[in-house]
Chains A and B, each alone.
Chain A
Amino acid sequence: MSKVTLEVNGKKVSKDVPNHTILSDFLRDNLNLTGTHVGCDTSQCGACVVHVDGKSIKSCSTLAADVDGSKVTTIEGLVKDGKMHPMQEAFKKMHGLQCGFCTPGMVMSAIDLLQNKKNPSDAEIRKWLEGNICRCTGYQNIVAAVKEAASKV
């Protein structure tokens, strides 16, 4: 067993979990934060993307014990004072989601893109989102949403 202590969405949490516990399972099963989705479970699809110490990572391929002591932000942590994050607002406005399964990962990944690049081009957005797959194939509006958010952030 490992004692895993994290700051998740600003709240300190500490749990004893088996050493092989995956971060996405830790978030979903131990903390009941089911906004982080698990799609392919093999680090291809990106539905599980969360931020660890400010950087986007795939939580389905990361051991919880491995990020012990880190700050983790999930999709649930984006709302501030009841208001959606500008990226969430942009996805809503530009119809950047259809079934919504890939959306948490898309949003978390896109926020990290804007941390790295303030006004990305369409090509840069598409390159960055290579690790996020939308099975509804709604990429046009996802790219439009990221551009919209970039103009607001």
Chain B
Amino acid sequence: MKTFNYHVPKNVKEASKLASTSSAFLAGGMTSVPSMKLGLATYKDIIDIKHIKKLSGIKVSGKTVTIGATTKHAEVANSRDVKKAIPSLTKLAGGIGDAQVRNRGTVGGSIANNDPSACYPSACMALNAIIHTNNRKIEASKFFKGMFETALKKGELIEAVEFQIPVKSNYQKHPNPASRYAIVGVYLAKHKKEVNVAVTGAKSSVYIDKDLSKALSSSFSSSAIDGMKLDSSEMNSDIHASGDFRASLVVTYAKKAVEAC
């Protein structure tokens, strides 16, 4: 690994000031450290944000669950408050990677990286999340721009993610057997006015499947989407699953999610 300057800012302002085009914020490091070790990423400055207290913690209000950027997956998975408000979110957090990854990895890190097969982006999309940064609030639908791309600008730091509490929700994942990332993950959320079916792992970036969402908005039952054929032309295809298989998995797991609601 190439060396770097290591900074431990005490507050968001200081962290943001240190940022440049060749820097990275370090939270849990569960993606960034292995990427640097493999030489896939090199930075001049690493800005460790874990000591900024205001970035960590969970707040549940009547309508929303707000999770600080550096809150670890294990904290979300074990939170009684989150489980009461959005049980599917604790399930999602408890299924990321393995126990040791969940002890380090963070929600902010996961969504800032926007890995096409990460779990959290699907929760953000399905639960109409608002991403709070040090400069602005960004709707999830405008945050995830494409493979490993987000709307974040240089020096912009995620402070918290605010999830809307749905009426019902469920997350179903077809995990890679070795790493447990989502080959396909389906986050289903039934809100008062609409149903969102967010899909991760299937395409180059997380997306809302409009056909499934529409069908389930008119009739919230697995029979409403039974046998539905999705367009697989933009689906990822690799040794783990072909595009056609992924398209089929999306429907299968959406059905499972409806049945588990």
Q: How far is the CA of A61 from the CA of B109 in the complex (A)?
A: 15
B46 contacts across to A, CB distance below 8 A = 19, 63
Query: Does the CB pair B6–A19 fall under 8 Å?
Result: yes
Stretch at the interface among B29-37, B118-126, B158-166, B213-221: B29-37
User: B4 an interface residue at 8 Å Cβ cutoff?
Assistant: yes
Known: A62-B29, A63-B33, A131-B97. A19 touches B103 (CB 8 A): no
Chain A 88-102, CB-CB to B under 8 Å as 1, else 0, gives 000000000000000
Q: How far is the CA of A60 from the CA of B103 in the complex (A)?
A: 14
Which residues of B1-50 are within 8 A (CB) of A?
A: 1-6, 26, 29-30, 33-34, 36-38, 46, 48, 50
A44 contacts across to B, CB distance below 8 A = 178-179
B103's closest neighbor in chain A, by CB?
Answer: A55
A41 contacts across to B, CB distance below 8 A = 37
Max chain A C-beta neighbours (<10 A), residue from B2, B30, B33, B100? B100
Query: Does the CB pair A62–B34 fall under 8 Å?
Result: no
User: A147 an interface residue at 8 Å Cβ cutoff?
Assistant: no
B37 contacts across to A, CB distance below 8 A = 22, 41-42, 61
User: A20: which of B36, B103, B178 is its contact (CB, 8 Å)?
Assistant: B36
B36's closest neighbor in chain A, by CB?
Answer: A20
Q: How far is the CA of A94 from the CA of B178 in the complex (A)?
A: 26
Q: How far is the CA of A44 from the CA of B179 in the complex (A)?
A: 7
Q: How far is the CA of A33 from the CA of B249 in the complex (A)?
A: 46
B102's closest neighbor in chain A, by CB?
Answer: A131
Which residues of A5-63 are within 8 A (CB) of B?
A: 18-20, 22, 41-44, 46, 49, 55-58, 61-63
Query: Does the CB pair B1–A62 fall under 8 Å?
Result: no
User: A76 an interface residue at 8 Å Cβ cutoff?
Assistant: no
Q: How far is the CA of A40 from the CA of B4 in the complex (A)?
A: 24
B180 contacts across to A, CB distance below 8 A = 130
Query: Does the CB pair B100–A58 fall under 8 Å?
Result: yes
Which residues of A115-139 are within 8 A (CB) of B?
A: 128, 130-132
A19 contacts across to B, CB distance below 8 A = 3-6, 46
User: B3: which of A20, A56, A109, A130 is its contact (CB, 8 Å)?
Assistant: A20
B2's closest neighbor in chain A, by CB?
Answer: A20
Query: Does the CB pair A56–B103 fall under 8 Å?
Result: yes
User: B100: which of A2, A65, A109 is its contact (CB, 8 Å)?
Assistant: A109
Query: Does the CB pair A62–B99 fall under 8 Å?
Result: no
| 11 A–B contacts from the bound complex (CB under 8 Å) | A19-B3, A20-B1, A20-B2, A22-B33, A57-B100, A62-B29, A63-B33, A109-B100, A113-B99, A130-B180, A131-B98
Which residues of A are at the interface with B, using a C-beta cutoff of 8 A?
Answer: 2, 18-20, 22, 41-44, 46, 49, 55-58, 61-63, 65-66, 109, 112-113, 128, 130-132
